Amino acid sequence: MEIANDKSWSALIVDDDAGVRQSLRLCLEAAGGRILGVGAGAAALEALERSAYDLVFLDLWLGAESGLELLPQILRRQPHTAVILITAFATFESAVQAIKAGAVDYIPKPFTPDQVRLAAERVLQARRLEARVGELEERLGELDAESFFDTENPAFRAFLQTAGRAAASDAVVLLRGESGTGKNVMARWIRDRSARHAGAFVGVNCPALSTELMSSTLFGHRKGAFTGAVADAVGKVQEAEGGTLFLDEVGDLSLDAQARLLRFLNDRTYERLGEAAERRADVRLIAATNRPLEEEVRAGRFREDLFYRLNVLSLHLPALRERPEDLLPLAGHYLRFFSSRMGRPGLRLTPAAEDAIASHGWPGNLRELRNAIERAAILSPSQELGPADLGLTHAKGAPEAAVGSLVSLEAIEREHIARVIPQAPTLEAAARILGIDATTLQRKRKRYGLV
Ligand SMILES: Nc1ncnc2c1ncn2[C@@H]1O[C@H](COP(=O)(O)OP(=O)(O)OP(=O)(O)O)[C@@H](O)[C@H]1O
């Protein structure tokens, strides 16, 4: 059992029967807990004053005392402890009363070791999940802390103003802009400023879905709708009910998914694959693309009617090279962010690094700048980050990265990938030549700003 290896939890046993205390202690110690047993209410409260317990096993009848009366006093001292009642008179009423009074569970007397361990494990498992959720929330907060919207650039300022107005409406928004300009970040920004800010935000990365599974991923399916549909499945549209659905790289949707999306945008109805029943969903759509959708329409890969439906509120994120006045403030922001995250206060850019940042073209946009600063903050042994730490020594007019020259392996990899791609007929073929799979190539292209 999992808790058998977890030495980091503790339980207090409150029972007037020494035999019961002993057998509970044996079960719980075998499961890895640190255990204290007491025989009366006063001793229990004293123990709780002294140290914190994850669990309290509390007898419902402690001789003349009532466990139910003791329960609120326990919770007042340690609101986060989980109380499990032990009762010889396990009636439905006493169980209801116990749960109402704040116990999380109860076990009957006589109990088996498994009943005790299972009750403890349930609580500890829930605790671990709570802790994990807390951690994730903290990381989400960090993501917010990473974002930076201060700008001195007129184009980006105008963009933010329009995005703010778009956020307040419930209309479909199409975010356009080169890879790495922040379309994902802006989709959340819009959601956070919309009436749906407390609702779900469901993101779908369209290129990551296989063509066959695209419609079912978005709209769900019934068991047996196709080979491999072994159970009913809810689609992303339903997951986003009451909230926002974000379709990243909407140009990659299959034609079937495009037809279904168009109908959904027109009347908010859809069907799951393999099901006749019409469903309705209350979902706001934000879509993004870094490709010229007009060309996809001309090539017959993207429906014209869907394009017009999506293009009503189309917002174009400027490339980083079009925001020269924001380069150094952004670099400073990332530097502060990563210095604090890595516990390296006082990291600075040298004047040469600032010049290199200002003169580099940043084809990978914010992603490239962010990654350059993160890498430098991790790797530089010095507090002063120079152009080489940022990988910018060979940026402008300098000799290209060549095998054997004094550059990082990454610089060589970037250069190699950049040269192989135009020579291969397709990206898949380029991936084969490079000996990596297509998804890895996609990731590396993004990372190196080669998209
Ligand atoms: N406003 C911002 N402030 C700070 N960092 C940002 C901001 N916007 C984006 N970034 C950073 O830039 C990187 C790319 O952002 P994002 O994924 O939103 O770009 P994108 O345009 O959606 O890219 P792609 O088209 O490749 O999916 C991320 O690491 C993100 O943290």
CATH number where 117 lies: 3.40.50.2300
Distance, CA of 222 to CA of 233 (rounded, Å):
6
- DSSP β-ladder status, 61-62 and 65-66: antiparallel
Which ligand 1 atom sits nearest the alpha carbon of residue 143?
31
Kindly report, residue by residue over 267-323, the tens digit of the pLDDT. Answer: 999 999 998 889 999 999 999 998 889 999 999 999 999 999 999 899 999 999 999
213 and 313 assigned to the same domain? yes
Is 144 a domain residue? no
Residues 160, 290 within the same domain: yes
Domain match, 295 and 385 both? no
288 and 362 both lie in a single domain: no
**Nearest to 358, CA basis, from 319, 329, 399, 388:** 329
Residue 389 and residue 337 share a domain:
yes
Task: State both tokens at 244.
Answer: 């926002």
167 neighbors 194 (Cβ within 8 angstroms): yes
Instruction: Report the complex ipTM.
Output: 0.98
The predicted pLDDT at position 347 comes to 93
Instruction: Report the residue among 367, 373, 442, 446 best suited for mutation to probe ligand 1: largest number of ligand atoms under 8 A from its CB.
Output: 367
Q: Residues 29, 146: contact at Cβ < 8 Å?
A: no
Q: What is the pLDDT of residue 99?
A: 82
The residue among 324, 292, 153 whose CA lies nearest residue 161 is 153
Among 318, 339, 358, the domain boundary falls at 318
Pocket test for ligand 1, best of 370, 373, 447, 448 (most atoms within 8 A of CB): 370
Ranges of beta strands (E only) in 123-231 are 173-176, 201-205
**Is residue 93 assigned to a domain?**
yes
Give the pLDDT of residue 353.
Answer: 94
Domain region containing 350: 324-447
Shared-domain flag, residues 287 and 366: no
Whether 82 and 117 share a structural domain? yes
The finding on whether 147 has its CB within 6 A of some atom of ligand 1 is yes
* 301's tokens: 């890969």
Domain identity same for 278 and 159: yes
Q: Are residues 169 and 289 in the same domain?
A: yes
Ranges in the chain, pLDDT < 50: 1-6, 395-399
Taking each continuous run of H as one helix and of E as one strand, the counts in the chain are 18, 16
Residue 380 lies in a domain: yes
Domain annotation covers residue 140: no
Residue 307, pLDDT score: 96
Q: Count of domains in the chain?
A: 3
156 DSSP 8-state letter: H
The answer to whether residue 138 sits within a structural domain is no
Question: 175 C-alpha vs ligand 1 centroid, how far in Å?
Answer: 12
On whether both 340 and 386 belong to a single domain, the answer is yes
The string of pLDDT tens digits covering residues 324-378 is 999 999 999 999 999 988 888 889 999 999 999 998 889 889 999 999 999 899 8
- Same domain, residue pair 314 and 328: no
Residue 431 forms part of a structural domain: yes
Looking at 303, 318, 333, which one is the last position of a domain?
318
Q: Determine the pLDDT at residue 143.
A: 66
